[in-house]
Amino acid sequence: MSTHAGRVAVVTGASRGLGAGLAETFARNGMLLGLCARTRPDARDGRTALTASVDVTDADAVDAFARAVVEHFGRVDLWVNNAGVLAPIGPLADADPVALRRHFDVNVLGVVHGTAAFVRHLRQRPGKGALVNISSGAATTPYEGWAAYCASKAAVDMITEVVAREERSAGLRAFALAPGVVDTDMQDLIRSTPEESFPAVRRFRRLHHEGAFNSADWVARFILERCLGEVGVVRPGDDTDTVRLRVPDQPGRPQKEKPPPPEPPDPEP
């Protein structure tokens, strides 16, 4: 039996994509699940999963869902803030202000609301807990056309860093996790974006052609081992202050092509 059997995990944005994939792997490991998204995730056995339609931009709704999960299962051990959006894509000066506000409401405030709800629960019970906020390589790499996405993921990283310090005494281990490239509906949107709106689109189309993706199962297993693990127990080689993590490339992926060696300099006259 999995060492995680009976533990309780909450996943936001769990109706599709990475969130749905995380839920499947967690369930196979015997975990009890609280799953929410704007579209209610597929119904599961009520003894092992509680599902609800929740807009993460609504702090009261997120808090109410957290309380419902605790009432149903008794506690939460792992909280994954996965809900997020990519649009609008394109130059910042051309972006719709309403779409920009919605983007930051989901990607930043949604993480804030989930984080706060989990921390309030953790403060009220004994033991440790793991928080995983889904980030991105875009948090540290600027992409033209992704001003909102890069900024929101950078905010997620810093929010996680601060909360990890604030709540260490409450037993919180917090991680901003970049999952690598996972082939989801978001990747479909990226690949369909015109190059004039997103100049780096050719890279993502190449990754699709090569099948160079991390699977949701691979990401989930990384979370279980590295982030949840024996929560609060430090293993040799662990850096207890490490908050920002990147899921390594999944074995079997095509190897990245090495750039050609530089041309030798012309001889001086």
Catalytic residues: 135, 149, 153
Is the separation of the CB atoms in 56 and 66 below 8 Å?
no
Cα separation, 183 vs 228, whole angstroms: 24
Burial 150-179 (b: 16+ CB within 10 A, else e): bbbbbbbbebbeebbeebeeebbbbbbbbb
End-to-end CA distance of the chain: 73
**DSSP letter string over 59-122?**
HHHHHHHHHHHHHHHS--SEEEE--------S-GGGS-HHHHHHHHIIIIIHHHHHHHHHHHHH
Cα separation, 249 vs 233, whole angstroms: 25
CA distances from 75 to 11, 123, 187, 215 (A): 14, 12, 34, 28
Burial 21-43 (b: 16+ CB within 10 A, else e): bbbebbbebebbbbbbbeeebee
**DSSP letter string over 136-186?**
-GGGTS--TT-HHHHHHHHHHHHHHHHHHHHTGGGTEEEEEEE-----SHH
Cα separation, 208 vs 184, whole angstroms: 11
